[in-house]
Amino acid sequence: MIVVIQRASEASVKIEGEIKASIGNGLMILLGIEEADGQEDIDWLTRKIINLRIFPDEAGVMNKSLLDADGEILLISQFTLHASTKKGNRPSYIKAARPETAIPLYEQMISSLEKELGKSIGTGEFGADMKVSLVNDGPVTIVIDSKNKV
């Protein structure tokens, strides 16, 4: 799994012109799932996301976690994170998980994040054409690949 984590002062996702979910202070996360991903990736990424110290403390130093900051999460599935651009100019998405694999893992990731955060999170809709808006606070953007944890 690959995640692109962006610290946000606000973020939202629209589907067919209607706001599906929005957050204030927190993290807007793009999630890419590949066929080899599983529960171990979900567990590891959940702990990493919830405890990542990227929110400012009283001195303005990035020293607080999402829990410390009482932040929210907006999670958006995005298969294009697994694009291969090695050959030619048309990206290949062969590593991206097919919906029958990706949808259950996406739903498990939602549940895992909600459990650890202790509240509901905002989400997009798997496979939908979404319009995502974000005010990136900082800007702070971090990319994490669960396959590179060692």
Q: Is 126 a catalytic residue?
A: no
Q: Is 78 a catalytic residue?
A: yes
H or E stretch at 110:
helix 99-117
Instruction: Count the alpha carbons within 13 Å of 59 in the hemisphere toward its beta carbon.
Output: 3
Of the residues 6, 46, 79, 123, only one is catalytic, namely 79
Phi, psi of 24 (to 5 degrees): -100, -125
Of the residues 6, 46, 78, 123, only one is catalytic, namely 78
Of the residues 80, 85, 101, 108, only one is catalytic, namely 80
Q: Is 123 a catalytic residue?
A: no
Residue 123 to residue 100: CA distance in whole angstroms: 19
Instruction: Count the alpha carbons within 13 Å of 22 in the hemisphere toward its beta carbon.
Output: 10
List of residues 6+ apart from 3 with CB closer than 8 A: 29, 30, 31, 32, 45, 49, 143, 144
| Catalytic site positions | 78-80
